Structure 1
Amino acid sequence: MSREWSFAGARGQITAREWPNGSARYVALLVHGYGEHIGRYEYVAERLVAHGAAVFGPDHQGHGRSEGDRVVIEDYADVVADLHRVDEYARERHPGLPVVLIGHSMGGMIAAAYAQRYRATLAALVLSGPVLGSWREATSLLDLPEIPFSPIDVSTLSRDPEVGERYQADPLVWHGPFKRPLLAALDRCLKQIDSGGRLGDLPTLWVHGEADSLVPLPATRAGVETIRGDDLTERIYPDARHEVFNETNRDEVLTDVTGFIDRVLAR
Structure 2
Amino acid sequence: EGGSATRRRRSRRRMGEGEPGPTWPPLVRTLARISVAAAGCIFSGAALAVLGLCIPPALVFTHGRSVWREIESTACCRRLLATGKAGPELARLFSKVARFAMCLAAFVALACASSVVGAVAGALLGLTLPFLVATFGSGAPDHPWDWHGGRCCLRGDVAAERHQNRHLRALLEHGSLSCRWEALRRRDGHGGHHNADHSIFVRFVLPPPGARRKGILVYQHGLHCHGSNTTSSELALFFAERGFVVALPDAVGHGQSDGDFALVTDFEELAEDLCHVCHSCRERFPRLPLFLMGESMGGLLCLLAASSGMLGQELRAVLATCPAFLIHRPRESAADAIVDALPLDYLARILPKLPCDKGVVGVCYPEEAELRQRAVEDESWDGLVHTDWMRLATANTFKRDLLSFTGRERLLHKIRNMEHPLLVQHGGADRCVDIRGSRYLVRTLNRQNFGASLVEYSGKCHCLMTEDEGTKAEYLETSLRFICEFCDSTH
The TM-score, its normalising length taken from structure 2, stands at 0.50
**Offset at residue 49 of structure 1 (A):** 0.9
Alignment of 1:9-88 (within 5 A): 9=186, 10=189, 11=194, 12-21=198-207, 23-40=212-229, 41-88=232-279
Alignment-derived partner of residue 420 in structure 2: 202
For each residue in 1:50-88, what CA deviation from the matched residue of structure 2 results, as whole angstroms up to 9, or x when unmatched? 222101121111111112112212222321222122111
After TM superposition, the structure 1 stretch with the greater mean CA deviation from structure 2, 25-34 or 226-235, is 226-235
Alignment-derived partner of residue 259 in structure 1: 481
Alignment-derived partner of residue 164 in structure 1: 376
Which one of 229, 233, 242 corresponds to residue 462 of structure 2? Answer: 242
Alignment-derived partner of residue 218 in structure 1: 436
Q: What CA distance in whole angstroms lies between the structure 2 residues aligned with 1:223 and 1:91? A: 29
Alignment of 1:82-231 (within 5 A): 82-117=273-308, 118=311, 120-132=313-325, 134-137=326-329, 143=340, 148-150=356-358, 152-154=360-362, 156-158=364-366, 159=368, 160-161=371-372, 162-186=374-398, 187-188=400-401, 190-198=408-416, 201-228=419-446, 230-231=450-451
Q: Secondary structure at 1:72's aligned position in 2?
A: coil
Q: What CA distance in whole angstroms lies between the structure 1 residues aligned with 2:259 and 2:320? A: 26
Q: What CA distance in whole angstroms lies between the structure 1 residues aligned with 2:287 and 2:228? A: 27
Work out which of the two has the higher radius of gyration on C-alpha atoms and give 1 or 2: 2
Q: Secondary structure at 1:218's aligned position in 2?
A: helix
Greater percentage in strand: 1
Alpha carbon RMSD of aligned pairs, Å?
2.6
Q: What CA distance in whole angstroms lies between the structure 2 residues aligned with 1:222 and 1:164? A: 31
User: When the two structures are aligned, how many residues end up with a matched partner?
Assistant: 265
CA contact (8 A) 1:109 1:190 kept: no
Q: Secondary structure at 2:388's aligned position in 1?
A: coil
CA contact (8 A) 2:328 2:431 kept: no
Q: What CA distance in whole angstroms lies between the structure 2 residues aligned with 1:193 and 1:105? A: 15
Change in CA separation of 1:203 and 1:111 when aligned onto 2, cut-off 3 Å: same
Q: Secondary structure at 2:293's aligned position in 1?
A: strand
Q: What CA distance in whole angstroms lies between the structure 1 residues aligned with 2:360 and 2:415? A: 33
Q: What CA distance in whole angstroms lies between the structure 1 residues aligned with 2:235 and 2:218? A: 11
Q: Secondary structure at 1:5's aligned position in 2?
A: strand
For each residue in 1:245-264, what CA deviation from the matched residue of structure 2 results, as whole angstroms up to 9, or x when unmatched? 33211111000100111223
Residue identity matched to 2:318: L
Change in CA separation of 1:74 and 1:90 when aligned onto 2, cut-off 3 Å: same
**Percent identical residues:** 23
Change in CA separation of 1:149 and 1:230 when aligned onto 2, cut-off 3 Å: closer
Q: What CA distance in whole angstroms lies between the structure 1 residues aligned with 2:418 and 2:255? A: 33
CA contact (8 A) 2:424 2:452 kept: yes
**Offset at residue 14 of structure 1 (A):** 1.9
Change in CA separation of 1:207 and 1:78 when aligned onto 2, cut-off 3 Å: same
Q: Secondary structure at 1:156's aligned position in 2?
A: coil
Q: Secondary structure at 1:264's aligned position in 2?
A: coil
Q: What CA distance in whole angstroms lies between the structure 2 residues aligned with 1:259 and 1:243? A: 20
Residue identity matched to 1:234: L
Q: What CA distance in whole angstroms lies between the structure 1 residues aligned with 2:418 and 2:180? A: 35
Q: What CA distance in whole angstroms lies between the structure 2 residues aligned with 1:191 and 1:180? A: 23
Change in CA separation of 1:20 and 1:263 when aligned onto 2, cut-off 3 Å: same
For each residue in 1:155-180, what CA deviation from the matched residue of structure 2 results, as whole angstroms up to 9, or x when unmatched? 63234231222113321001122223
The TM-score, its normalising length taken from structure 1, stands at 0.88
Structure 2 gap ranges (5+): 1-177, 343-353, 402-406
**Offset at residue 13 of structure 1 (A):** 2.5
Q: What CA distance in whole angstroms lies between the structure 2 residues aligned with 1:150 and 1:52? A: 40
CA contact (8 A) 2:225 2:254 kept: yes
**Offset at residue 129 of structure 1 (A):** 0.7
Change in CA separation of 1:105 and 1:119 when aligned onto 2, cut-off 3 Å: farther
For each residue in 1:122-149, what CA deviation from the matched residue of structure 2 results, as whole angstroms up to 9, or x when unmatched? 10100101112x32539x8763868634
CA contact (8 A) 2:184 2:277 kept: no
Greater percentage in helix: 2
Q: What CA distance in whole angstroms lies between the structure 2 residues aligned with 1:151 and 1:75? A: 17
Q: What CA distance in whole angstroms lies between the structure 2 residues aligned with 1:264 and 1:242? A: 27
